[in-house]
Structure 1
Amino acid sequence: MAACAATAVAFALLGMSGGQDPVAMPTAPRLVAAVAAAATAVLVLLPPGERGGLRAGAVLGAAAVMLSGSLLAIPHTVLMVIVRVSQQFTGGSGPFAVEPSWSATLVHGLNVVATALVALWLVVDHRRRNDRCLRCGRISATPPPAGSRGRLWWPALVAVAGALPYGLLKLAWSLGSGVGLTGDGFAQVTAASPGFGDTVVLTGFSIVVCLVMGAGLGKGVVRWALTAVGAGGALMLLPVGLTAAAQFVTVLWGGASIDDSEIAPWAFGLVYGSFLVWGVAFAWLTVAYWRATRPYCRAHSTESAVW
C-alpha cells in the first residue's frame, strides 16, 4: 500500500532530520514506526492464501505499531496547527508560544491516513473472507433495526455532558475569570488568545455535531462528514484524556501543580476528565451513528435476512 510506504519513508526522514513534536509525548521510536509501516505495506501486498485471517492479524499488529508512532502526539500537533491558523486571524497573544512543527504534522497526518486506509482494507478483507457484502457488510439487504436511531441520544448526551465542563472553564478564562487558577499566568488572556476562544468555538462545534448525530440526521456526504468529525474528535480527545488520567494519579498522590501551568489540580482533573468522558462518548456515538444510519443496500441477495 502506497500510503504505508510513504509513511515509512516520512518517519525515516523525520528521524534523520531531528524534527521534534511541539509537545513531547511518549510515542514509538520513529525507526520502529518506519519499519512497522514498511511491514504493513508488504503484508497487505502478499497473496491471501488459505490463512487469510492470520495475514489480517499480522497487518493489524503492524498497523498498530505504525500508529503508535503518532497516536499520543496527534492531539497536541493538530491543535497547535489549528491554534496557529486561528492566531493569524485574531492576532491575539497568550501565555504560551504557538510553534507548530510542520514536518511532524505532515508525518503524523500521513500516518493517520495510512492507518485509516489499512482499517478500510481490514474491513473489506474480513467481509470477503466471510462472504459478506463488500459494500455494507451485511449478509442480506436488511435495513437497520427499528428504533436504533432513537438510542443514539444516550451517547450524544454523554458526549455533550463531557464537553461542557471544559468548554465552560475555557470560556471563563477567556473572559478574564481566575476560577481554577493558582496564579496570574492567565492574567492577560482574552478571547482572542491562542488556545482559548478558538477552543471554545471548537467545543461548541463538537456539541452541535453530537446533537446532529444523536438525532440520526445526515445522508450521503453529510453522513460521511459527521462520521469523519466524530472519528477525528475521538482521536484527538482519547489519547490526551488517558494520558492525563494517568498523570493526575501522581498529582493527587503528591499534591503538586501541573507542569508549572498555575492550574489548580481540581481544574486539571476537570479539564482532562472532561476530555476522557467526551472522547469515549464521542467514539461510542460515532460507531453507533455509522451503524444506525447505514442505508438500505440492494447490492446483494435478500435471502436469509441477517443483520
Structure 2
Amino acid sequence: MIAALAMLAAASARAEPKPVTFSVMTYNVEGLPWPVRKGRGTALKRIGHELAAMRAKGVEPDVVLIQEGFRDEIWDLIDESQYPYVARGPRKGQRDANVFPKGQRPDFRRVKYRRKGEGLGKWGSSGLWVLSNHPIEWVKSHAYRYCAGLDCLANKGVMLVAVDVQGLPTPVEIADTHLNSKGASGVPRSRATQAHHLQADELKRFMQADRTPGAPLIVGGDFNVMHSPERFDHVMNDYPFEVVSRWCHARPGACDTQISYDGDAPWLNTQDLIGFLNGEAVAVTPIAVEATFDGADEPVLSDHDGYKVTFRLTPKG
C-alpha cells in the first residue's frame, strides 16, 4: 500500500508542469558594408567569439535576434558562436504582396527622394537572423513594402520562427524585426515617420495572419523608437504584446533589472525592444533584464548594446 502511494506521488510529480527558464537577446550588430562602415567584418567575428565565451560560462542567450547582419562575415559570427540552429530573414530579392487591401492602401509616394536611396533597388537583405540553442521548426518572413530614404537600400522586414523548447507543450514563436530609422534615413522626419508607421502596420498585419493563434510569443528587434513617443505608441496601438521594460517598470521588484533605466519611460531610451504575449498553454513572464556587449562583461562591438531578457515559461494546467 505504501509502495503504491509512493508510486502515485512520483507519477504526479512527474506530470506536474514545470517552468522553463528561457533567455532572448536582441542585438543590432552594425554589420554594414564598406564604405558605409569600416572594420565591421572583424567586429562581427569578435561578436561570435564573445558569444562562444558566454556559452563556455553557461550564460549565453537561448536565442539571439540579430539586425544589420548584412555582410558576408555574419557567417563568421554564426560559426564562432556555435549556435546549432540558424534562420535567416528576407533576402535581397524577396518581394511580398501588399498587406493592405485595395481601397485601404496608404497615400504614400514610394519614390520621392531618389538621391537618398529611394527607387534604386535593394542593395542588401533584411539583415535579420535568428540563432537558437533549440530546434527551429519553421520560419516565415515578410519584406516591408514601404520605406523612406537610405533605409530603402536594405530589404527591411520581419521574420517569425517557431522554437521547440523541451518541457513545453507547444513551440514558442519569436519575431525579429528592424523598422525605418529617423535622421539616419536622410529624409525629412515626417516622411521617415510615415514610413515607420506603415512598416509597423505591415508588422501587425503579418503577425495577425501568420502567427499561430494562442501560441506564446516573444517579439524583439530594432524598433527605432528612441525618444519618439509617437513612434512607440503607433507600434503598440492595436497590438496586444507588452514591452518588457514597461512591464517591469510598472512592477518594481518583479524583474532583476541589471540595466540603466532613466526617467519615467525607459522604453523610450533605446531603439531596441523585446515584447511578449502569453499563450493559451504557456504563460510568459519576464524575470531578468540586462545589457550585454556594453563594455562590462563583453566589449563594445557595435553602435548598439545587446539587450537580453530572461523569461519564465510556465505550462498551464
Query: Would you say same fold, with TM above 0.5?
Result: no
Larger relative strand fraction: 2
Larger Cα-atom Rg: 1
TM-score calculated relative to the size of structure 2: 0.30
Give the number of the structure with larger relative contact order, counting CA–CA contacts within 8 Å between residues 6 or more apart.
1
